[in-house]
Structure 1
């Protein structure tokens, strides 16, 4: 079977994990790399055996025979790069957040639809092995009907050390880790009916907020509390895990540190460790994240080949809406009702 050929746009931090993630899969090949700083593209290409290098996206698209592009640049470049690709009939995979605003995200989805190209977001947190297992156990009915949940990503990990640009964002934690956490909430519990959000900036050396708390009433009537922080010095560091607790009518689930899933019913508590697959190219500190990149991209590849995939642009737009409605709630100090 002929491989789908793609180009990577952007060769920064995350490209070093998305490219080997694609290389774990059959039926896909990266044939070109673009970065505005050519030397960075050359370095990535040498590391991963990418044959063509460009410092012009226009030249890359004009010269290469592609099936899709993988956009792994800063959010403000996503719309113009995706528009260029869509106008050339190329399918698109894009890093989260989709765009730097809700309006631009809506425009991006609309452009891809109008051009008839497939559009996916590389939203991988819902593909973490412990999260998938929690969903499986919850859906089995063992804890009955879920009525309350807490989804937590609270850490003191020095994220600005390897991604310094994050310190310059006017909107930080909700657009960054919040895009992941709120998508996990949607994956586990469905769509939100209303939300109330508070934010704070604890680290005075950054521009945006580094703490956010979002209380949601879901359409299924359960309550979901999503909390995220990069200012939390806790007894046990959980980075990069998402911790989850779910209470149901017949029991509860707790996804705790070290990938431990605890299921409690009237019969007692059963614990299971759900370890992620560890790849040789993965950073041990990000193991659960990097393994989920492979699973997410496997699902996207299925979508690129004509099947159903979870993280389409249209689906992820609902997560983007939660992010920006959370900002609206925090700015106005008000409950936001969602359509």
Structure 2
């Protein structure tokens, strides 16, 4: 594989603009083409980012372009057909989260890539946020001993539907769109899940899906982790797009508060406070700066895995475990039952 990898992007919507900017930030890649059924959207994105070729059909793109990988940043229903088309073409694949609309489809996407011998990654970027990595580091250094409980909170009243109106039309909204990130972070911090119990609510009358979800996870290592997500919250402090976290261990605790403030408390040693600010980029949307910085770090991690420098952290195979939690959460809420993972 050449030092500069050639790739194409599928999708010309809100997130594509920032994903492409993040690839420019990372470097070591060359964007040859963009594909979107809406030709005008694709042309506008191509003009903004200097992309040579514009396509409206995936088949034509794969026939005419010689690629090392594709980055799929399109609607959820398009993920599976595009991933399988890339696998058939022998091209490595990056796919935006959530992987697909049901678990069987997720499994078929992973299988298609494995059978074709292509690498498959999910662009799961929240776990790459600077303050989240710092919390993980503190745990790995044994600062709080053995963790036994945690709380992860993403509760906001941010008008997310203003720049992504399609979210209001999703039958399944907050767990598929946001909860998937927090569930993946819980796995990153505490390992795999043994069982869960979830309850959901719909507060906003103008959307189709749920906008509140509360999920209690019991990890295989015994940690109890409570995950709460909401886009219906009217709070004293708007914290979008930050996840607030409390992790308790037998020798101390870690608290991640608003604006990346971390408090480390250790038994017999008191507390110390510091910040874990992410890098800032001129192209990032100020409202999403934390997320956009993690897109850069996620892209770098995937590029390193594509180049065989490191193992893949967010492979399709690994992400199946996160998607299992997503669909079990819906099933748990629908049936009011505690459910076990496979």
Q: TM-score, normalised on structure 1?
A: 0.99
In 1, the alpha carbon distance for the partners of 2:78 and 2:163 equals 20
After the TM superposition, list the runs of 4 or more consecutive aligned residues in structure 1 that deviate by more than 2 angstroms: none
In 2, the alpha carbon distance for the partners of 1:202 and 1:26 equals 43
Aligned residue runs from structure 1 range 1-339, under 5 A: 2-265=3-266, 266-306=268-308, 307-339=310-342
In 2, the alpha carbon distance for the partners of 1:38 and 1:319 equals 34
Displacement of 1:26 after TM fit? Answer: 2.8
Displacement of 1:225 after TM fit? Answer: 0.3
Displacement of 1:287 after TM fit? Answer: 0.8
Displacement of 1:142 after TM fit? Answer: 1.2
SS in 1 for 2:331: helix
Deviations 1:3-38 (A, max 9, x none): 110000001000010001111123211110001011
In 1, the alpha carbon distance for the partners of 2:180 and 2:149 equals 21
Displacement of 1:141 after TM fit? Answer: 0.8
Q: Is the CA contact 2:4–2:28 (under 8 Å) kept in the aligned structure 1?
A: yes
Deviations 1:153-187 (A, max 9, x none): 10000000000000000000000001100000000
Unaligned runs of 5+ in 2: none
Q: How many residues align?
A: 339
Deviations 1:245-302 (A, max 9, x none): 0011111110000100100122211111111111110011111100000000100001
Displacement of 1:2 after TM fit? Answer: 3.6
SS in 2 for 1:24: helix
In 1, the alpha carbon distance for the partners of 2:288 and 2:262 equals 19
In 1, the alpha carbon distance for the partners of 2:40 and 2:232 equals 35
SS in 2 for 1:42: helix
Displacement of 1:238 after TM fit? Answer: 0.7
In 2, the alpha carbon distance for the partners of 1:210 and 1:289 equals 20
In 1, the alpha carbon distance for the partners of 2:120 and 2:226 equals 30
Displacement of 1:202 after TM fit? Answer: 0.3
Deviations 1:77-103 (A, max 9, x none): 101111111101000000000011111
Displacement of 1:128 after TM fit? Answer: 0.1
Displacement of 1:338 after TM fit? Answer: 1.7
In 1, the alpha carbon distance for the partners of 2:206 and 2:104 equals 29
Displacement of 1:189 after TM fit? Answer: 0.3
Displacement of 1:138 after TM fit? Answer: 1.3
Aligned alpha-carbon RMSD (Å) = 0.8
Unaligned runs of 5+ in 1: none
